[in-house]
Amino acid sequence: MLVRKTWGCVRTLALSRPFNLCSTAMAKSKYEYVRLFETDDTCLRNCYVVVRLDGRNFHKFSEKHSFAKPNDHRALGLMTRSARSVMEELEDVVIAYGQSDEFSFVFKRTSTWFKRRASKLMTHVASQFSSSYVFYWKEYFAEQPLLYPPGFDGRVVLYPSNRNLRDYLSWRQADCHVNNLYNTAFWTLIQKGGLTTVQAEERLKGTLAADKNEILFSEFDINYNNEPPLLRKGTTLIWEKRDEPVTKWVKLPNEEGEKEMTVTRSRKRVCPHHCDIIGDQFWEEHQDILESDDC
């Protein structure tokens, strides 16, 4: 029974069911047709889904935040920590590779996360990475405040075979080598050779890898092959089982009380590697990363 007061009069209305403004009759509306404009962006099945993030205008960002040149180990560490956060959130990411201001995340080919919608995968990776970058900033840049939020753009690419995926990751690692060799030579000419940026660019114009190696070695006694693998090879993140000591209390047999004991348990963790991923050795040692091309 519902009592309604209208203009001084009282009306009593009989209701056959409870009065509910959220009834199923109101679940849909005439505006729902706009969903038809959404594009179907479901990724093809049996393909590796790669989401690659790149820092947006990071040249300016690095200058504003006083990044060391040619490489800032704090910045590289923060990138790796943010990437690890993505993998821990999305366990279907079987491998990730990063260098400089970019990181690629590979979802296993049988993944059904977010119904394989490209937009969902890309935005989730980008948002998790970006928020982690800001969240962990102080752990790596304790004395440098974050002046403004960083930006990252992303793209989604599908690779149908193991060879295609390996070639993609090889391409990114080769790019790491080319860029780092150039930057090492460029900033060495400036910091140790006294050249201006314009003069350093002119000196390196048209040079090959062998020429840059010769400049570093003959003029500055720097053997590029002795540079840290992190800088020359980038960072590869994979899931690995690691034994960890765990302390727990165990009841003693036929006695009262408990005893503290340390046991070893195996847990999966995201682990970094700074090694060659172009050759076969890495893939032979970690055969669980790739899925069969026969699936």
Q: Could you tell me which residues are annotated as the binding site?
A: 54-59, 100-101
**173 touches 97 (CB < 8 A):** yes
- Residue 213's H or E segment, with its range, is helix 209-220
Q: Where are the beta strands (DSSP E) in 119-214?
A: 152-159
- Residue 269's H or E segment, with its range, is strand 258-273
> 245 preceded by cis ω (within 30°)?
no
**Can you tell me the distance from the alpha carbon of 3 to that of 7, in angstroms, rounded to the nearest whole number?**
13
Long-range contacts of 35-42 (CB under 8 A, 24+ apart): 41/117, 41/118, 41/119, 42/115, 42/116, 42/117, 42/118
**58 touches 101 (CB < 8 A):** yes
Long-range contacts of 132-135 (CB under 8 A, 24+ apart): 132/81, 132/82, 132/85, 132/86, 133/78, 133/79, 133/82
Instruction: Give the residue from 123, 191, 140, 173 showing the smallest Cα distance to 282.
Output: 173
Instruction: Give the residue from 145, 146, 147, 168 showing the smallest Cα distance to 156.
Output: 168
Annotated binding residues for Mg(2+): 54-55, 101
Annotated binding residues for GTP: 54-59, 100-101
